[in-house]
Chains A and B, each alone.
Chain A
Amino acid sequence: MLPTERILYSPITDRPRLKLPNGARMAVWVIVNVEEWDAKLPMPRTVLTPPAGGSPSPDIPNWAWHEYGNRVGFWRMLKIFDEFRIPGVLAINGSALAAYPAIVEAAKARRWEFMGHGFTQRNMQKVENEREDIRKTADVIEAATGRRPRGWLGPGLTETWETPDLLKQEGYEYVADWVLDDQPVWLKTTTAPIVNIPYTQECNDVAMMLIQHHKASEYYDRAIDQFEQIYDDAGDSARVMALVAHPYIMGAPHRTRYFRRIFEVIRQKSDVVFMTGGQILDWYLTTGPKAP
C-alpha cells in the first residue's frame, strides 16, 4: 500500500483533544538503539574514511568505533537513565541479544521496553525474507524477556511497501518508522490497523552528529528547543516528543554531558511524563480515536 492509502492527511489542529493522565501536558519517550554491526559487511555508518577514500573491506576502525558503544558507552548512558529515573526503550537488533547479553540483562533489570529493530542492522529492502526477519526478532526478544515486543523500528527507519502489514500480522502493535506527526496515529494494513508512535529523525544523534556533523552541544540545544516548542504546543492537546540516542555516539565521553543536561531541564517540569512506547500505545488505545 502507498502511505497515502494507509493514512489520510489530517492537520493536527483539527483533531479531538488528547489528554494524558494526571494532567500531564506532554509525554517524552527516550529510545536507545543497540545494534550489532557485522564485521564482514560495509559498516552502516563511519566516523573515519580511509586514506585516499574508497571503502575497503573489512572496515575494522569503524567496526571498533561502534563496538565501543556497547562495551563502554551504553554503561555511561545507563547511569543517566538511573539518575533521572527514565523508563528506557531499547530498540535492538535481534542478533544483538545474543551478542550483548549484559546489555539485555541491564535493560531487563530496569524493566525497559524491548522494541524490535530488525534482526540485523541493514535496510529492510535488502532483507531476503522480511516476514521471517520480523518474526525472528520477536522470537529472540521473547526468549530473552519472556514477552513478545509490541513495537518495531526499522533499521534506519526503512520499510518496504508491505512492512506495516507484516508487522501487524506478526503481532506487533505499534511502529515508529513514520515521523509524520506529534501524536500517535492509526495506519491501515491489509488486516487490522497498527498504531504509529512519533519517533524522530531530528532529535536523533545519527542525523545530528554523523550526517550534519554538529558539535555535541547541538544535541542538547536542539532537544531543549524541541521540548519547549512541543510543551507550548501541547496546551491544546497532548503531544509526544521522542529523543533518540545510540551508545556509540552519545556514549562517547565528550558527548555524555549534553545528553545528561536534557533530563536535568525536562525533569523540572512536573507536567511532563516520561513513558515507554508501550505506555504511550496503551494510553492512545484507551483515550485516542478508535481504529479506522
Chain B
Amino acid sequence: MTGSPPMIPRERCEYSAIVDRPPLKLPGGARMVVWTIVNLEVWDIGKPMARQVLPAPTGVPLLPDVPNWSWHEYGMRVGVWRFFDLYKRLAIAPTLSINARVCEDYPRVAQQARDQGWEFMGHAYEQGPIHKETDQKAMIERSMKVIEKFTGKRPVGWLGPGLTQTFDTPEFLAEAGVKYIGDWVYDDEPTVIRTAAGPLVTLPYTVELNDIPMMLVQHHESDHLLKRSIDSFDRLYAESKERPKIMSIAIHPYISGQPFRIKYLEAIYDYVNKHEGVVHWNGEQILDWFEGQAGEAGSKS
C-alpha cells in the first residue's frame, strides 16, 4: 500500500441510505443482535489520565494524577469482577476491547476473560489517542502480537483508543490482519470499506449506548444507562421486524462497574432477554454472519 495517498472516509465508502439496501437476514428466526463490548485499559501513571472524575483544585492538570488513576484502577480491582459475575450468570461472552498492555499489567483480569470465552478485540497497546503514536504500524503489530501470545489467537477485531484513527489507520489495520473495526459508528448495519490493503468490515459500535459519553461527558444520572438502552432497544426491536438490527452496549469497569451503576446494567439484560428473537453475539460472530450474507447477496456498502 505504501505510496498511495491516505483516503478520506468518503473515498473508502460511498454514502448509502439504509432504506435503499436489501435487508440482511439473521439465522433461526432471530431478529436482533445485542453486541456487548467491555473496554479494559491501562492508564499509565506517568501520563495525563485518559478521563477525569475529579479535576485538580486549581483546574490545572498536575502529574502524577493519583486520584483519577486510582479511580480507574478501581475498575480493574473491583468493578470488572462485577462484570464477570454478571456475564457468567447470563451465559453471555462479550467482546473485550483490550489495551494489549492489560495482558502484561493485569494478567489476572485478562485470564478471567479468556477463561470465560470472551472475544479479545485489539484496542491499542495502551490508552491514548492514536494520533500521538510515533509508529502506528509498529504499535498495532505489537498489540496484535501481545494478545495473540496471551490467548493463542490473533484478534480479528479492532477498536481505536477513544475510536481514534488517522486517515491511514485502516491500511495499517488491514495489513495487520484485522478483519473488522468498531471505529465507524455511522450505521446500524455492518458495512465494507476500502483500504489499500484490502477491505475492512465496520461493525456498529456505539458512542450513544456508551458509558463514557453518557456518564463522563454528558453527566447523566446512573439510571439513564438503563433508560437510554430501553429506549434504543424498543425502537430497534420494532424496526427489526423489517430488517435485522444490531444494538451495541459499550461499558467500562471503572464507570458501569461502580456499585451504584451495576444494577442498571444488569437490568438492561433483564429487559432485553424478555423479548423473542434476540441473540447475544460477539464481534467475530457478527462478522462471520455478515460475510456469509455478503457472499449470498453480493457486496454491501
Contacts and interface: CB of A to CB of B under 8 A. Distances in A.
A67 B227 contact: no
A56 interface: yes
A99 B213 CA distance: 28
Interface stretch (B106-114, B161-169, B285-293): B161-169
Contact of B165 (A60, A75, A100): A60
B129 A102 contact: no
B232 interface: yes
Interface stretch (B45-53, B79-87, B89-97, B138-146): B45-53
In the complex, which range does the number of interface residues on chain A fall in?
A: 35 or more
B129 to A, nearest CB: 4
Contacts of A254: 208-209, 228-229, 231-232, 235
Interface string B214-237: 000111100010011101101110
B15 A253 contact: no
A269 interface: no
A263 B147 CA distance: 51
B165 A72 contact: no
A21 interface: no
A248 to B, nearest CB: 10
Contact of B185 (A52, A57, A61): A61
Contacts of B17: 70-71, 74-75, 100, 102-103
A50 B166 CA distance: 13
B153 interface: no
Interface in A43-86: 47-54, 56-58, 60-61, 63-65, 67-68, 70-72, 74-76
A39 B11 CA distance: 11
A58 B168 CA distance: 10
A99 B15 contact: yes
A48 B162 CA distance: 8
A60 B183 contact: yes
A48 B220 contact: no
A256 interface: yes
B77 interface: no
A67 B9 contact: yes
Given A72-B187, A215-B220, A60 B235 contact: no
A53 B186 CA distance: 22
Given A52-B128, A60-B163, A64-B186, A213 B47 contact: no
A63 B20 CA distance: 22
A51 B129 contact: yes
A68 B186 contact: yes
A52 B47 contact: yes
A126 interface: no
B62 interface: no
Given A67-B186, A215-B224, A58 B167 contact: yes
B266 interface: no
Given A72-B187, A257-B231, A54 B129 contact: yes
A32 to B, nearest CB: 15
B195 interface: no
Most A CB within 10 A of own CB, among B16, B185, B188: B185
A65 B50 contact: no
B127 interface: yes
Interface string B268-286: 0000000000000000000
A236 B212 CA distance: 48
A255 interface: yes
A18 to B, nearest CB: 39
Nearest to B227: A215
Contact of A213 (B19, B184, B218, B229): B218
A255 B234 CA distance: 11
Contacts of B149: none
B49 A52 contact: yes
B213 A51 contact: no
Contacts of A52: 47-50, 127-129
Interface string A122-139: 000000000000000000
B132 interface: yes
A202 B238 CA distance: 30
Contact of B16 (A40, A61, A71, A252): A71
B213 A47 contact: yes
A63 B9 contact: yes
B209 A51 contact: no
Given A47-B207, A48-B163, A254-B208, A216 B129 contact: no
Given A39-B8, A75-B18, A53 B208 contact: no
B9 A48 contact: no
A100 B15 contact: yes
Contact of B186 (A47, A50, A65): A65
Nearest to A59: B164
A215 B222 CA distance: 12
7 contacts: A39-B9, A52-B47, A52-B129, A60-B163, A65-B207, A75-B18, A254-B235
Interface of B: 8-10, 15-20, 47-51, 127-129, 131-132, 160-167, 169, 183-188, 207-210, 212-213, 217-220, 224, 227-229, 231-232, 234-236, 239
Interface of A: 39-40, 47-54, 56-58, 60-61, 63-65, 67-68, 70-72, 74-76, 99-100, 102-103, 213, 215-216, 252-257
